[in-house]
Structure 1
């Protein structure tokens, strides 16, 4: 009877708060790949991060995108760790397990300052730096403002150019199952059909944190901090990785970034969308390791 009751409780918990269960499972997966969870103070904010790979290895830092979190790198980070890199995966303010301060701007410019502050807090003098989507925009600014701190730069389906999206940006904070399905279709070429109780919990969670995403998006859509005129000044090697069928930041944007950075190299991943670093990590990982080892 005790086992039956326990199964019933677990089943009810999963039905009521499936995202909580998914997060616990995701954190367990991070532990399984050797990542260890830590917190550090950066500019007065409590910042969560994972670290994995040999402690004395060369440093790589990967920055997630809008609405993302450090666990998003769970598939790609092990490629770097196995190649001997010490990999750090921070949660930006407002996301994951980091503080969500009401008085923070959530602009890419201020998030870039947090990333540099993260370097300083951990004593990281120079790193190989990567960013995905909004995170790609953030690391572009870090590389432009602090070129001495970035040995090599990696941009994954990155934002940052002065381009008005041709899709409804309100879908980043969907308020209905139909809007969530439209957003998933933008993110993935073949989105899964989610159960109703999972959709309900996703929408509940988004209602709680949509103000952060909205504030970040509003700042980005002003066109401040765009990097079109800054990218030609980068001198470090740059790897650009793009999902061929990305609808959030289309391939044309990656190609323009490639043109703006003369010394960059570009990898286009067939059949992958905006979530390429996660969904197509097996194709991307070897290229990233090869780039960092050049």
Structure 2
């Protein structure tokens, strides 16, 4: 190959590489959440999880679905409900694990969240989101699924189990909200507008070890994403804080088997809340995950997921108990 031709090829290659690097840097800066979603999507696709949509109460609801990976397995549906300001993909660690153990998993984006419809000035109250989850189960013709919820999603799942107990076989609560608690942090925590507030949110959710590390140059893009979702977060928060939906005087009415999974270092919904829920539900199983924060089932998947599978598989249902799991190896 002539020297001039080699130089031209090297120049073209260098320009292409620099353009690719610059494009990646711009994506990280201007649209980091889009990039995080694409990486998560790739992982979910690789593990057999697929994106779906369904109309519920006139709204387009996005959900993730993973069919059981055991050939000929009985269809055992599990519905998962995310927390405040979150989305279905936050269950990325649990969804494929349950599918591998023979469960048919459905994780929906609540109204106003993730890739579901965001109606202008829509209602994202607990009651509305409970109605969406109930309608989701009806629309997909799921027969008495196991229903799990994380944080605010646990509150919604517990409300559904109380209001329509025939729809829920077993209830799973992960670092759940729903009982009276002292708010020792600013409500604006959930919609940070600058890096200091973003750092406060991360430290509150992940006090010991950051499950997801975000470089500082990507934070402006994440803050823009928080701003876009602020209306629905505020709507949900308003419903959570008005006191009318508190479950303290209702939880004892739950009759189905209940699993309560909690990070011992949770600084958002403290372990004491989980222990109180356990005392209110006589048949409940409490699993404490040492060294884990509010994102316990993701941060400590290696110790938490086996407990979930054991609870779902147990026939007859596991008796009331408290188990403390050791902190996972880092």
TM-score (norm 1): 0.96
- In the TM superposition, residue 293 of structure 1 has moved relative to its aligned partner by 0.7
Pick aligned residue for 1:30 from 44, 47, 55: 44
Equivalent position to 1:96, from 82, 104, 114: 114
Structure 1 distance, partners of 2:164, 2:229, is: 31
Q: Distance in 1 between matches of 2:122 and 2:56?
A: 13
Does the CA contact (< 8 Å) of 2:31 and 2:222 recur in 1? Answer: no
Preserved contact between residue 239 and residue 245 of structure 2 (Cα < 8 Å) = no
Q: Alpha-carbon deviations, 1:79-129, whole Å to 9, x = none? A: 211110000010001111000113532111111111000001100121011
The Cα offsets for residues 218-250 of structure 1, whole Å up to 9 and x where unpaired, read as 111101211111110111000000000101100
The equivalent of 1:269 in structure 2 is 289
CA RMSD of aligned residues (A): 1.4
**2:28 touches 2:218 (CA, 8 Å); kept in 1?**
no
- Secondary structure in structure 2 of the residue aligned to 1:175: coil
Residue 52 of structure 1, CA deviation: 0.3
Q: Does 1:10 align with 2:30?
A: no
Name the stretch that deviates more: 104-113 or 268-277: 104-113
Matched with 1:238 is: 258
- SS at 2:294 equivalent: coil
Following TM superposition, where does structure 1 have runs of at least 4 consecutive aligned residues deviating by more than 4 angstroms? none
Query: What runs of 5+ residues in structure 2 fail to find an aligned partner?
Result: 1-11, 315-330
Pairing partner for 2:171 from 153, 171, 186 = 153
Q: Does 1:180 align with 2:198?
A: yes
Aligned to 2:215: 195
Aligned partners of 2:278 and 2:286 also within 8 Å: yes
Deviations 1:117-174 (A, max 9, x none): 0001100121011000000000000000111111110000000012232222211111
Larger radius of gyration: 2
Partners in 1 of 2:127 and 2:102 — Cα distance?
31
Tell me which residue corresponds to 2:320.
none
- 1:134·1:159 contact (CA, 8 Å) conserved in 2? yes
Task: List alignment gaps of at least 5 residues for structure 1.
Answer: none
Judged with a 3 Å threshold, the aligned counterparts in structure 2 of structure 1 residues 268 and 36 are, in CA distance, closer, same or farther, namely same
Paired residue total: 294
Cα distance in 2 for residues equivalent to 1:109 and 1:61: 17
**Displacement after TM superposition at 1:209 (Å):** 1.4
Q: Distance in 2 between matches of 1:138 and 1:15?
A: 34
- Check whether the contact 2:33–2:221 (CA below 8 A) recurs between aligned residues: yes
Question: Are residues 1:42 and 2:69 paired?
Answer: no
Q: Would the aligned equivalents of 1:79 and 1:286 in 2 still touch at CA under 8 Å?
A: no
Instruction: Tell me if the contact between 2:63 and 2:108 (Cα under 8 Å) persists in the aligned partners.
Output: yes
Q: CA deviation at 1:7?
A: 3.7
